[in-house]
Amino acid sequence: MAPVDNGADRLVAEQLRYYRARAAEYDATSYRAVPAERDSVPAIVDRLGISGDAVELACGTGIWTAELARHAATLTALDGAPEMLALARRRVPPSVRFQQVDLFDWTPTSSWDVVFFSAWLSHVPADRFGAFWSSVAAALRPGGRVLALDELPARSFHEDRIDDEVAVRTLQDGTTHEIVKVFWAPNLLVNRLASLSWRASVTPIEHDWFILEARR
Ligand SMILES: C[S@@+](CC[C@H](N)C(=O)[O-])C[C@H]1O[C@@H](n2cnc3c(N)ncnc32)[C@H](O)[C@@H]1O
């Protein structure tokens, strides 16, 4: 019997369809198009002190992938959208491995010293949060670190929001799509992760972004 679809299933499926359709215009309509934001990416990655084997989740068009590749001994990049993966592949050295993975149905078969994701945590709905972090725990080697970048609540004015979890995005062709968009307050995020046995800290950085660092 087919599983019963609920609102969260519909929303995460629509979110992935939205990013597949947005891939070709992503660099022109994301922070990549804002020079001050785009130009700060290499220095932010330099500050993270990344070494060893790394995996990037939801790599998109490879804006961060290209910088992570300068530091990691090996780099694997995952995304659910083949259109995103194709664009990211063009941006990085051939040593970077790519895999198409639905992160809401991900059982890691390898483990890494660093698990990195940018602009992904805010797309994880509350009812998938625990399962997502279980997958991340399975992907992390003992002593490893999660490093994630996302937007502080101060940036929520950019969004056409329906409620605390759902926003509406419009593509250049005029089509509209509902996606998950959660603006985490740092203290709530740290406490939520503590309830899942993560030791986490959140550091606000430029552009009202934050860096999350988490360990088991
Ligand atoms: C906001 S973009 C972030 C891309 C990149 N990390 C960056 O900062 O530019 C979100 C990414 O999540 C990917 N994505 C959406 N749903 C996904 C899913 N269920 N599994 C894996 N990736 C997904 C999209 O294809 C897109 O590349």
Residue 159 lies in a domain: no
Token pair for 43:
């220095």
Q: Could you read off the pLDDT of 46-76 as tens digits, one per residue?
A: 999 999 999 999 999 999 999 999 999 999 9
Q: Could you read off the pLDDT of 142-185 as tens digits, one per residue?
A: 999 999 999 999 999 889 999 999 999 999 999 999 999 999 99
SS3 of residue 205 by DSSP: strand
Average pLDDT over residues 136-146: 98
Residue 13 lies in a domain: yes
Tokens 């063009």, residue located: 90
Q: Residue 30 sits in a domain of what CATH number?
A: 3.40.50.150
Residue 44 lies in a domain: yes
Centre of ligand 1 to C-alpha 15, Å, is 9
Q: How many CA atoms lie within 13 A of 78 on its CB side?
A: 20
Sheet strand arrangement including 166-170: 160-161, 166-170, 176-180
Question: Which structural domain, as residue segments, surrounds residue 135?
Answer: 7-153+185-215
Residue 82 lies in a domain: yes
- Predicted confidence (pLDDT) at residue 118 exceeds the cutoff of 90: yes
104 touches ligand 1 (CB under 6 Å):
yes
Q: Could you read off the pLDDT of 183-208 as tens digits, one per residue?
A: 999 999 999 999 999 999 999 999 99
84 touches ligand 1 (CB under 6 Å):
yes
116 touches ligand 1 (CB under 6 Å):
no
Residue 76 lies in a domain: yes
Q: Could you read off the pLDDT of 76-111 as tens digits, one per residue?
A: 999 999 999 999 999 999 999 999 999 999 999 999
Give the count of domains, the chain. Answer: 1
Q: How far apart, in whole angstroms, are the C-alpha atoms of residue 103 and residue 216?
A: 20
Residue 77 lies in a domain: yes
- Does the model's pTM come out above 0.75? yes
Q: How far apart, in whole angstroms, are the C-alpha atoms of residue 198 and residue 214?
A: 6
Residue 191 lies in a domain: yes
6 falls in which pLDDT band (50, 70, 90)?
low
Q: How far apart, in whole angstroms, are the C-alpha atoms of residue 6 and residue 9?
A: 5
Alpha-carbon dihedral sign for residues 118, 123, 127, 131 = negative
pLDDT over 90 percentage in the chain = 94
